[in-house]
């Protein structure tokens, strides 16, 4: 059997997913363009990483992340850093020119690379909707901002994308084909109207300040960081996230449980607001005291524990039915109450019986992964973290390894261990780093961790 190595055409894909597909003949002309495109990507990255741009990169990084909701992002996140790096190369202006424009003046390029570079200099990230995905490698997209249609050839992406998906992508011309740039964002079809209305409103404000109304090219360049922030914000609501594997055709798309995840988020937000008021309302059962006042005495705490146990039975029944439920440990934290003996018994790591067999599978993968990495002492903490998160969020998934990796990464961040990286965990569990990133942020939001 011939090893499935990287395709020699320069696409960055495996042979079986590229020129080695059954019945496919290598187009030597396109082979030349893909190879030139791959070399050009590498040269651009090396140029942007030069020490002369270090100070400017720090300024740009602060600017890029400043428009994002700080509760949703981690500026050390591998995926977001890759999104930043792409924006820094293509859109960020240093004395009125982008980095890719400065690079075009540096020379030492082949004729093919020069031709590609001229087209890449004006390539803008935009919102696209998937119109058609065929069984081979062709994806037909509509630019929702500029109204054009474009085709992209990517044998791996067709396995992940579906008709209707909304993408924030940069598309690069490579010979007669088009390729996705190194990073992309994917949202479900239901988000289309909201996204486009927000973009149009922001564009009108931009044109009012800068003039040249209707010039989408300048807007998409100057507000690219804002559009990234918008999709991260909307993605956090819909339970989807960035994909950093555009060049390899891998995308993070809405999972089976993204509507349930959104319902759980809404439930938490609503009941957090309700209970914030409830703890300061006098109650007859507490002899006219508020729950907050009652929590300051031993007798009051005992009554509160009894009350919360009854509420806990209701929430447990909702959770068992698969309905959105409220985690009362959030309320106990507000009142500074310890976990109830009943809850400790039912939630303890040795007595827990997870409803979903896949949850046990994740725990086993966590244990196996930490043992292989030499972190045996962190196994109990990691499994406990997964147990708590899964009981609260009830995630549904197809790849348990992605959750095992996210939990291990979360524990490493909590312990200040910077040796464990998302990309390494992605290789270990054979999943996308973007999936790990998404799951990690979900864990942090649900458990209110400062990762």
| 249 within 8 A of 157, measured Cβ to Cβ | yes
- Residue 448 has a pLDDT of 82
Looking at the structure, tell me whether residues 227 and 93 fall in a common domain. Answer: yes
Looking at the structure, tell me whether residues 297 and 161 fall in a common domain. Answer: no
From 248, 237, 83, select the one nearest 160 (Cα to Cα): 248
- Residue 272 has a pLDDT of 62
What are the angstrom distances between the C-alpha of 390 and each of 26, 104, 271, 374? Answer: 47, 50, 19, 25
Q: Which residues pair with 174 in a beta bridge?
A: 177
Looking at the structure, tell me whether residues 332 and 438 fall in a common domain. Answer: no
Q: Is 370 within the bounds of a domain?
A: yes
**Domain that residue 93 falls in:** 42-248
- 3-class state of residue 128 by DSSP: strand
Question: 288, 319, 347 — which closes off a domain?
Answer: 347
- Cα separation, 1 vs 351, in Å, equals 47
Looking at the structure, tell me whether residues 98 and 228 fall in a common domain. Answer: yes
The pTM for the full model equals 0.57
Looking at the structure, tell me whether residues 158 and 111 fall in a common domain. Answer: yes
- Residue 356 has a pLDDT of 44
Number of domains the chain is built from? 3
The pLDDT tens digits of the residues spanning 72-87 come to 666 556 667 778 888 9
Looking at the structure, tell me whether residues 55 and 116 fall in a common domain. Answer: yes
The pLDDT tens digits of the residues spanning 33-80 come to 988 998 898 889 888 888 888 889 889 988 998 888 766 666 556 667
Which has the minimum average pLDDT: 18-22, 88-92, 274-278, 324-328?
Answer: 18-22
Looking at the structure, tell me whether residues 204 and 288 fall in a common domain. Answer: no
Q: Is 12 within the bounds of a domain?
A: no
- Cα separation, 414 vs 129, in Å, equals 38
Q: Is 9 within the bounds of a domain?
A: no
Looking at the structure, tell me whether residues 369 and 333 fall in a common domain. Answer: no
Which H helix or E strand runs over 353? none
Residue 34's CB: how many other CB atoms inside 10 A? 24
- Residue 344 has a pLDDT of 45
Of the chain, the percentage scoring pLDDT greater than 90 comes to 31
- Residue 273 has a pLDDT of 55
* Residue 199 buriedness (CB in 10 A; 0-12 / 13-18 / 19+): buried
Question: 248, 270, 285 — which closes off a domain?
Answer: 248
Which has the minimum average pLDDT: 105-109, 200-204, 264-268?
Answer: 264-268
- Residue 234 has a pLDDT of 80
Q: Is 14 within the bounds of a domain?
A: no
Q: Is 409 within the bounds of a domain?
A: yes
Looking at the structure, tell me whether residues 192 and 65 fall in a common domain. Answer: yes
The pLDDT tens digits of the residues spanning 363-402 come to 999 999 999 999 999 999 999 999 999 888 777 776 788 8
Looking at the structure, tell me whether residues 188 and 62 fall in a common domain. Answer: yes
Query: Which token pair is 100?
Result: 């890719």
- Span 143-152, average pLDDT: 94
Is 260's pLDDT higher than 60?
A: no
Question: 215, 248, 281 — which closes off a domain?
Answer: 248
- Residue-averaged pLDDT of the chain: 79
Which has the minimum average pLDDT: 250-264, 290-304, 350-364, 415-429?
Answer: 250-264
What are the angstrom distances between the C-alpha of 97 and each of 91, 187, 403, 430? Answer: 9, 31, 41, 39
Looking at the structure, tell me whether residues 175 and 324 fall in a common domain. Answer: no
The pLDDT tens digits of the residues spanning 217-248 come to 999 999 999 998 888 888 766 655 444 444 44
Residue with the larger pLDDT of the pair 7 and 183? 7
- Residue 320 has a pLDDT of 62
- Residue 19 has a pLDDT of 57
What CATH number has the domain bearing residue 388? 1.10.472.10
| 30 within 8 A of 176, measured Cβ to Cβ | yes
What are the angstrom distances between the C-alpha of 416 and each of 74, 234, 446, 451? Answer: 14, 29, 20, 9
Query: Which token pair is 322?
Result: 């698969």
- Cα separation, 390 vs 126, in Å, equals 35
| 403 within 8 A of 423, measured Cβ to Cβ | no
Collect all residues with Cβ–Cβ distance below 8 Å to 285 and sequence separation of at least 6: 303, 307
Q: Is 29 within the bounds of a domain?
A: no
- Residue 6 has a pLDDT of 60
Q: Is 60 within the bounds of a domain?
A: yes
The band of 249, judged by pLDDT with boundaries at 50, 70 and 90, is very low
Looking at the structure, tell me whether residues 332 and 369 fall in a common domain. Answer: no
Q: Is 208 within the bounds of a domain?
A: yes
């Amino acid at each position: 059997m011939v090893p499935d190595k990287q395709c020699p055409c320069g696409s960055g894909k495996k042979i079986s997913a590229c020129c080695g597909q059954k019945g496919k003949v290598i187009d030597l002309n396109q082979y030349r363009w893909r190879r030139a495109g791959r070399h050009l990507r590498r040269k651009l990255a090396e140029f942007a990483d030069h020490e002369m741009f270090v100070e400017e990169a720090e300024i740009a990084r602060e600017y890029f992340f400043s428009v994002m909701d700080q509760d949703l992002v981690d500026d050390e996140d591998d995926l977001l850093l890759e999104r930043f790096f792409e924006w820094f190369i293509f859109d960020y202006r240093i004395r009125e020119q982008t980095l890719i424009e400065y690079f075009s003046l540096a020379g030492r390029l082949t004729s093919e690379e020069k031709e590609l570079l001229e087209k890449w200099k004006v390539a803008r990230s935009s919102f696209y909707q998937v119109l058609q995905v065929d069984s081979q490698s062709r994806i037909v997209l509509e630019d929702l901002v500029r109204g054009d249609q474009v085709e992209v050839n990517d044998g791996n992406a067709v396995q992940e994308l579906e008709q209707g998906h909304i993408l924030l992508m940069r598309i690069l011309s490579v010979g007669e084909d088009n390729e996705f740039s190194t990073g992309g964002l994917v949202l479900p079809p239901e988000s289309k109207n909201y996204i486009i209305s927000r973009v149009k409103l922001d564009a009108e404000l931009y044109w009012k300040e800068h003039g040249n109304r209707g010039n989408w090219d300048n807007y998409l360049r100057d507000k690219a960081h804002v559009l990234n922030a918008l999709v991260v914000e909307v993605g956090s609501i819909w339970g989807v996230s960035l994909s950093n594997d555009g060049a390899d055709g891998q995308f993070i798309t809405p999972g089976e449980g993204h509507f349930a995840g959104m319902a759980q988020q809404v439930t938490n937000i609503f009941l957090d607001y309700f209970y914030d008021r409830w703890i300061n309302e006098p109650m007859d059962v507490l002899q006219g005291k508020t729950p907050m006042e009652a929590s300051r005495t031993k007798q009051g705490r005992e009554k509160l524990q009894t009350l919360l146990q009854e509420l806990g039975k209701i929430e447990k029944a909702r959770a068992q039915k698969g309905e959105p439920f409220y985690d009362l440990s959030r309320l106990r934290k507000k009142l500074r109450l310890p976990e109830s003996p009943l809850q400790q018994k039912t939630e303890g790591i040795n007595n827990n019986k997870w409803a979903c067999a896949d949850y046990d599978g994740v725990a086993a993968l966590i244990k196996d992964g930490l043992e292989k990495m030499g972190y045996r002492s962190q196994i109990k903490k990691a499994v406990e973290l997964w147990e708590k998160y899964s009981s609260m969020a009830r995630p549904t998934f197809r790849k348990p390894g992605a959750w095992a990796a996210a939990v291990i990464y979360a524990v490493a961040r909590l312990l200040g261990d910077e040796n464990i990286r998302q990309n390494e965990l992605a290789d270990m569990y054979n999943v996308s780093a973007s999936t790990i990133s998404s799951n990690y942020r979900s864990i942090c939001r649900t458990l209110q961790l400062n990762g």
